[in-house]
């Protein structure tokens, strides 16, 4: 399927969700080579084509307002686009966030630990405090609009139906019908009355109740039954559902669920302050959880280890099946062959434009399919994996590329022989990755063992051997062993003189290195 490009730079790759205002796409910014999320606003949500101008005005306000919420808990807004090819198509270009929504971690038989629920609520309250200061009301806060990233950070999504609380925008907001989701709607939203920041606090109370008990505040047979309960029913106290909930936390949730806005906490900051006693202190150990919740990133990490460095591995490379798994047929069917060829061709084109992230993504998209159909160590699959690993390396992501090159070295050794070109190249790139990551001693050892194998299979003067010797010399120089480095580069220089001549660029480069070693510049 051809990829659609908007504003000459934003490529829509795949649809990843939909909402009340349109669809969400994962895409790429071809100029900055980064993943993006693109919110495509549907024109058919209007009652008539004549109201497209109103939609466009509401959309522009949405983009401007959302962009003003400067907090890491809200995806950044990068651009707002009115498609030149179709004037009734509007796009909001935003930061792409990886994670799972909070809904996927809610289970009535296994509710969140107290500290986890409090930490999630505190992070949401912090985001709301920044939004309400503008002021912007979310109006549709619910677990589905809360994303938990792999480090436990909470992101509040879809401020798209928010409105600036100013009189001059009331004429472009939809009135006369409730806005929001029935299970989390405040009484004033049910009545289509004035919505304020306290409306979001009511929804936060609904979310906290659900996190702590595993069940919604109210359960009705339909929308109107739920609305009636929000208007008149008394919420069941949490301690009757879960006795280990602290009394003060139960009181906070009940206060958030007060029918009248003025009876709820004063603001999101007040909610945060009341959640503080239930948050872990810096340096405290992680809370024990069930096996199911072990899949959920720990939302208390932000409080237990504030400003902790980013995890060393953000993204794992594709995991191949172990070699003992029976191999599938190694000849790709026609459709898969076309997909592989297209991925290699397109990724190479992207690589030529230095769009490394997108090039790697294009290859990764076909790797899983190829692995299932061809087997874990088929030549075509290994070619794809090597190509992706090389893209990652060239793009500067040595940490992600390293384990893949290690795995590829073993796979090629088994399938093509330990001295095959790809097995040796994989080992070389793995050593280069380690060098880039500062693992000098290990990299030197790997390069030396690789050089011994290359020399035994060919010679010390082969093209690969010359490259390896150059890398060894540079690592020795970086490690401060100038004597050893000089010996390596002197022998390498003599070989280059014979093979390539004195005018060769590599010969001249090595000569310059030797001059710097022998005659260092003094301050």
Active site residues: 140
Measured between alpha carbons, how far is 315 from 298 in angstroms, rounded to an integer?
A: 18
SS3 category, 72: coil
Spatial CA neighbour of 178 closest among 160, 163, 193, 199:
193
Spatial CA neighbour of 205 closest among 160, 245, 238:
238
Spatial CA neighbour of 172 closest among 60, 28, 280:
60
Q: How far is CA 380 from CA 143, 322, 372, 385, 438, in A?
A: 42, 17, 12, 9, 32
Measured between alpha carbons, how far is 415 from 11 in angstroms, rounded to an integer?
A: 38
Residue 194: φ, ψ to 5°: -60, 125
Spatial CB neighbours of 305, under 8 Å, sequence gap ≥ 6: 282, 283
DSSP 246-277: -HHHHHHHHHHT-SSGGGS-SSHHHHHHHHGG
Q: Is the dihedral of CA 345, 347, 351, 355 positive or negative?
A: positive
Query: What strands, in cross-sheet order, belong to the sheet with 100-101?
Result: 100-101, 146-148, 154-156
Measured between alpha carbons, how far is 305 from 283 in angstroms, rounded to an integer?
A: 6
Query: Burial letters for 160-198: b for 16+ Cβ neighbours within 10 Å, e otherwise?
Result: bbbbbbeeeeeeeeeeeebbbbbbbbbbbbbeeeebbbb
User: Roughly what angle, to the nearest 10 degrees, separates helices 268-275 and 114-132?
Assistant: 160
Contact (Cβ atoms closer than 8 angstroms) between residue 47 and residue 54: no
Cis peptide before 135 (omega within 30 of 0): yes
Q: How far is CA 360 from CA 311, 370, 520, in A?
A: 21, 15, 41
**Residues present in the chain in total:** 523
Spatial CA neighbour of 394 closest among 353, 447, 343, 444:
353
Q: Is the dihedral of CA 493, 494, 499, 500 positive or negative?
A: positive
Residue 442: φ, ψ to 5°: -65, -40
Tell me the sheet residues that pair with 98: none
Chain-centroid distance of CA 442 in Å reads 30
CA atoms within 13 Å, Cβ hemisphere of 68: 18
């Amino acid at each position: 399927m051809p990829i659609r490009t908007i504003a000459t730079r934003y490529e829509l790759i795949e649809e990843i969700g939909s909402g009340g205002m349109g669809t969400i796409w994962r895409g790429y910014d071809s100029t900055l080579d980064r993943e993006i999320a693109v919110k495509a606003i549907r024109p058919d949500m209007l009652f008539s084509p004549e109201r497209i101008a109103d939609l466009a005005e509401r959309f522009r306000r949405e983009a401007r307002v959302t962009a003003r919420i400067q907090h890491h808990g809200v995806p950044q807004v990068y651009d707002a686009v009115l498609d030149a090819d179709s004037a009734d198509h509007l796009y909001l270009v935003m930061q792409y966030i990886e994670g799972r929504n909070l809904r996927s971690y809610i289970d009535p038989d296994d509710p969140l630990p107290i500290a986890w629920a409090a930490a999630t609520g505190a992070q949401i309250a912090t985001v709301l405090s920044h939004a309400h200061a503008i002021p912007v009301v979310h109006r549709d806060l619910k677990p589905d609009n809360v994303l938990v990233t792999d480090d436990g950070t909470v992101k509040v999504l879809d401020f798209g139906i928010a409105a600036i609380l100013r009189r001059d925008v009331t004429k472009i907001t939809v009135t006369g019908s409730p806005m929001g989701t029935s299970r989390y709607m405040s009484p004033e939203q049910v009545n289509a009355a004035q919505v304020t920041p306290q409306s979001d606090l009511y929804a936060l109370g609904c979310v906290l109740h659900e996190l702590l008990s595993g069940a919604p505040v109210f359960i009705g047979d339909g929308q109107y039954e739920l609305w009636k309960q929000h208007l008149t029913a008394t919420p069941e106290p949490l301690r009757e559902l879960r006795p280990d909930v602290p009394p003060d936390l139960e009181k906070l949730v009940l206060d958030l669920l007060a029918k009248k806005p003025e009876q709820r906490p004063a603001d999101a900051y007040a909610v945060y302050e009341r959640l503080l006693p239930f948050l872990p202190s810096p340096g405290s150990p992680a809370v024990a959880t069930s096996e199911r919740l072990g899949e959920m990133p720990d939302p208390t990490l932000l409080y237990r280890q504030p400003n902790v460095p980013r995890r060393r591995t953000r993204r794992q490379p594709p995991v191949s099946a172990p070699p003992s798994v029976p191999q599938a047929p190694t000849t790709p069917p026609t459709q898969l062959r076309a997909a592989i060829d297209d991925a290699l061709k397109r990724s190479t084109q992207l690589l030529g434009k230095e769009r490394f992230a997108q090039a790697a993504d294009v290859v990764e998209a076909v790797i899983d399919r190829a692995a299932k159909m061809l087997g874990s160590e088929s030549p075509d699959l290994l070619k794809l994996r090597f190509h992706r690993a090389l893209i990652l390396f060239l793009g500067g992501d040595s940490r992600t590329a390293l384990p893949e090159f290690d795995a590829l070295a073993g796979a090629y050794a088994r399938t093509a022989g330990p001295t095959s070109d790809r097995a040796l190249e994989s080992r070389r790139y793995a050593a280069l990755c380690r060098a880039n990551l500062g693992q000098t001693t290990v990299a030197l050892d790997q390069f030396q063992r690789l050089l011994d194998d290359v020399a035994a299979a060919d010679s010390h003067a082969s093209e690969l051997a010359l490259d390896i010797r150059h890398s060894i010399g540079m690592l020795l120089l970086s490690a401060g062993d100038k004597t050893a480095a000089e010996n390596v580069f002197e022998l390498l220089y003599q070989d280059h003189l014979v093979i390539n001549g004195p005018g060769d660029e590599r010969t001249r480069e090595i000569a310059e290195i030797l001059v710097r070693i022998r005659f260092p510049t003094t301050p």
